[in-house]
């Protein structure tokens, strides 16, 4: 073994500070909770010993069923029964568990081709390519699209997978302030002219990357503003719809549907199947020419395992339900339920006097705790009331804007949300989280 006294840093050394800081805050208790069963309306936590502030769990053998406000199960498709689960079960009987190959070798089946057609049609683009992980979709598609000599302009709060893909693409990266169109225009002006005559573009390609709905903020991208700037400055636009596809718009088709903007205005609509569809994986929707390029140049698809049969069937079935092709009325009902629940919970929290971030129609509702010490305390107050929530702190947020990220689902009933509101009301008093006496009305 390499020894520290010989001048070598141990391989785990960079982990030390972060890990120990968390231990000191005693917040490990609210992260990495092991669970069992379906992450649906309720989620079952496996109890573990409280003194076990270690990353390997010591389970006590008992469980706690909690109201689940943590999973990205926006449309309630994470369930072990119903149309999706029945179809997925049949799919396993026919295709097995895995294709045991990458897409590029012998891992492209009729299921993949069907899902790609369905997704492209649903999103409203010419073609789609699907990938086995959402993270890897971003991580490997940016390097397939842009590289040396290209400029990639990224929203300051873009997801880690976008930042990862951007970095390994080798392009020059610049950032603009979150959702600030004036700042984006400033970056474009500076980067396009860069001391050159205004007619000269010193970049092979310019790509602007944003998210449809930001998962830590609950903010929606300013799509009309982006499209207007795109027309003026002629860049390509990449929108990550991980949290907006299936969750926003009257037909659940994401931010274009929400704003009434034609998908043809955008170059690339990326999304994941892990949220609204209760499945796994990611997709890219674009013109056929772009999708063909991605198919043959992205490392994730060429060298990684292809999406699996049950997952593909879950995607196809949930998509058809949302689109009303099977179980007519069910998709619409789920979309309406999600829209109602999102507004109901947000408004309820505001009325109680909490500071919540984001757009009124966002199913992600960040409730501000501010002080990092309130992270474990809030989580504990909720667990006492058998509610599980995701709490977020530094480095995922700035140190003093720690928050709870509540994820609303169509699977929640009004009673569930009332139960949550009552629990937040009590926890808010204990932890002094209410910053006003509440609003009288209006979200
Ligand atoms: N993009 C965004 C905006 C995300 O929030 C996430 C994950 N939550 C991903 C991509 C990665 O997707 P996946 O979890 O499906 O790998």
**In this structure, are 23 and 107 located in the same domain?**
no
Q: How far apart are CA 411 and CA 434, in angstroms?
A: 28
Pocket test for ligand 1, best of 39, 73, 130, 134 (most atoms within 8 A of CB): 134
Encoding tokens for residue 375? 């992270």
For tokens 């009124």, name the residue: 360
Ligand 1 centroid from CA 134, angstroms: 5
Number of domains in the chain: 2
Would you say residue 130 lies in a domain? yes
**In this structure, are 48 and 126 located in the same domain?**
no
Is residue 72 classed exposed, middle or buried when 0-12, 13-18 and 19+ CB atoms within 10 A define those classes? buried
**In this structure, are 42 and 153 located in the same domain?**
no
DSSP classification of residue 19: H
DSSP reduced 3-state for 43: strand
Q: What is the pLDDT of residues 60-88, one digit of tens each?
A: 899 999 999 999 999 999 999 999 999 99
Q: How far apart are CA 350 and CA 313, in angstroms?
A: 40
The atom number, within ligand 1, closest to the CA of 214 reads 3
165 touches ligand 1 (CB under 6 Å): no
Q: Please, what is the end-to-end C-alpha distance for the chain in angstroms?
A: 60
Ligand 1 centroid from CA 79, angstroms: 20
Would you say residue 78 lies in a domain? no
- Sheet with 387-388: strands ordered across: 35-36, 42-48, 59-68, 387-388
Residue nearest to atom 12 of ligand 1 (CA): 134
Q: How far apart are CA 246 and CA 228, in angstroms?
A: 25
The residue from 287, 304, 322 where one domain ends is: 322
Report the predicted TM-score, pTM, of the whole model to 2 decimal places.
Answer: 0.93
140 touches ligand 1 (CB under 6 Å): no
> Of 192, 147, 153, nearest to 169 (Cα)?
147
Q: Give ∠ CA 313-314-320 in degrees, rounded to 5.
A: 90
**In this structure, are 232 and 283 located in the same domain?**
yes
155 touches ligand 1 (CB under 6 Å): no
215 touches ligand 1 (CB under 6 Å): yes
pLDDT at position 26 is 53
CATH number, domain of 256, equals 3.40.640.10
Would you say residue 369 lies in a domain? yes
27 touches ligand 1 (CB under 6 Å): no
Would you say residue 42 lies in a domain? yes
Ligand 1 centroid from CA 327, angstroms: 28
Q: Give ∠ CA 117-120-123 in degrees, rounded to 5.
A: 145
**In this structure, are 318 and 335 located in the same domain?**
no
Please, are residues 407 and 388 in contact by the beta-carbon 8 Å criterion?
A: no
**Residues, the chain:** 443
Would you say residue 298 lies in a domain? yes
CATH number, domain of 410, equals 3.90.1150.10
The residue from 322, 354, 389 where one domain ends is: 322
DSSP classification of residue 73: -
Please, are residues 359 and 221 in contact by the beta-carbon 8 Å criterion?
A: no
For each of the chain's 443 residues, which pLDDT tens digit applies?
A: 556 667 777 776 665 565 555 555 555 556 678 899 999 999 999 988 765 455 566 788 999 999 999 999 999 999 999 999 999 999 999 999 999 999 999 999 999 999 999 999 999 999 999 999 999 999 999 999 999 999 999 999 999 999 999 999 999 999 999 999 999 999 999 998 765 555 557 899 999 999 999 999 999 999 999 999 999 999 999 999 999 999 999 999 999 999 999 999 999 999 999 999 999 999 999 999 999 999 999 999 899 999 999 999 999 999 999 999 999 999 999 999 999 999 999 999 999 999 999 999 999 999 999 998 898 899 999 999 999 999 988 878 888 899 999 999 999 999 999 999 999 999 999 999 998 665 544 43
**In this structure, are 288 and 344 located in the same domain?**
no
133 touches ligand 1 (CB under 6 Å): yes
Q: How far apart are CA 246 and CA 254, in angstroms?
A: 6
71 touches ligand 1 (CB under 6 Å): no
Would you say residue 250 lies in a domain? yes
pLDDT at position 443 is 39
The yes/no answer to whether this complex scores an ipTM above 0.95 is yes
**In this structure, are 248 and 142 located in the same domain?**
yes
Residues 6+ apart with CB under 8 A from 21: none
**In this structure, are 205 and 305 located in the same domain?**
yes
User: What is each CA distance from 420 to 14, 155, 201, 256, 381, in whole angstroms?
Assistant: 38, 32, 53, 32, 11
The atom number, within ligand 1, closest to the CA of 211 reads 3
pLDDT at position 442 is 40
**In this structure, are 222 and 295 located in the same domain?**
yes
Which domain covers residue 338, as residue numbers? 4-68+330-430
Q: How far apart are CA 148 and CA 146, in angstroms?
A: 7
Q: What is the DSSP string of 238-285?
A: EEE-TTTTTTSSTTS--HHHHHT--GGG-SEEEEESSSTTSS--EEEE
CB atoms within 10 A of CB 392: 18
**In this structure, are 169 and 314 located in the same domain?**
yes
**In this structure, are 371 and 262 located in the same domain?**
no
Q: Give ∠ CA 211-215-216 in degrees, rounded to 5.
A: 120
Would you say residue 361 lies in a domain? yes
**In this structure, are 64 and 94 located in the same domain?**
no
Largest Cα separation within the chain, whole Å, is 70
Can you list the positions of beta strands (E) in 273-362?
A: 282-286
Ligand 1 centroid from CA 89, angstroms: 26
Encoding tokens for residue 326? 């099977």
The atom number, within ligand 1, closest to the CA of 215 reads 5
Would you say residue 441 lies in a domain? no
The residue from 258, 291, 322 where one domain ends is: 322
């Amino acid at each position: 073994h390499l020894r520290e006294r010989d001048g070598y840093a141990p391989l785990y050394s960079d982990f030390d500070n972060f890990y120990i800081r968390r231990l000191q805050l005693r917040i490990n208790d609210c992260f990495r909770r092991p669970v069992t069963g379906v992450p649906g309306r309720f989620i079952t936590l496996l109890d573990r010993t409280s003194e076990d502030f270690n990353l390997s769990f010591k389970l006590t053998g008992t469980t706690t069923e909690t109201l689940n406000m943590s999973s990205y199960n926006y449309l309630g498709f994470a369930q072990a029964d119903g149309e999706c689960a029945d179809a997925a079960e049949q799919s396993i009987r026919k295709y097995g568990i895995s294709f045991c190959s990458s897409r590029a070798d012998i891992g492209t089946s009729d299921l993949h081709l069907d899902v790609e057609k369905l997704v492209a049609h649903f999103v409203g683009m010419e073609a789609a390519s699907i990938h086995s992980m959402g993270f890897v979709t971003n991580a490997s598609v940016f390097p397939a699209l842009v590289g040396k000599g290209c400029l990639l302009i990224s929203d300051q709060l873009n997801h880690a997978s976008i930042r990862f893909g951007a970095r390994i693409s080798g392009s020059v990266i610049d950032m603009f302030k979150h959702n600030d169109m004036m700042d984006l225009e400033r970056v474009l002006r500076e980067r396009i002219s860069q001391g050159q005559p205004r007619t000269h573009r010193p970049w092979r390609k310019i790509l602007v990357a944003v998210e449809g709905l930001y998962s830590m903020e609950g903010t929606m991208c300013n799509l009309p503003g982006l499209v207007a700037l795109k027309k003026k400055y002629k860049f390509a636009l990449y929108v990550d719809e991980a949290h907006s596809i299936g969750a926003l718009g009257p037909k659940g088709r994401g931010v274009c549907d929400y704003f009434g903007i034609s998908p043809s205005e955008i170059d690339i609509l990326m999304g994941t199947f892990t949220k609204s569809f209760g499945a796994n994986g990611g997709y890219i929707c674009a013109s056929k020419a772009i999708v063909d390029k991605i198919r043959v140049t992205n490392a994730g698809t060429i060298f990684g395992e292809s999406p699996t049969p049950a997952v593909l069937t879950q995607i196809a079935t949930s998509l058809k339900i949302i689109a009303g092709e099977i179980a007519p009325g069910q998709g619409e009902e789920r979309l309406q339920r999600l829209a109602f629940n999102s507004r109901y919970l947000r408004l309820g929290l505001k009325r109680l006097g909490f500071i919540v971030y984001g757009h009124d129609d966002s199913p992600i509702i960040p409730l501000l705790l501010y002080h990092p010490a309130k992270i474990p305390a809030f989580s504990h107050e909720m667990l006492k009331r058998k509610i599980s929530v995701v709490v977020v702190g530094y480095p995922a947020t700035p140190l003093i804007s720690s928050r709870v990220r509540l994820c609303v689902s169509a699977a929640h009933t009004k009673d569930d949300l009332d139960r949550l509101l009552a629990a937040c009301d009590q926890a808010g008093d204990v932890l002094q989280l209410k910053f006003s006496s509440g609003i009288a009305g209006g979200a």
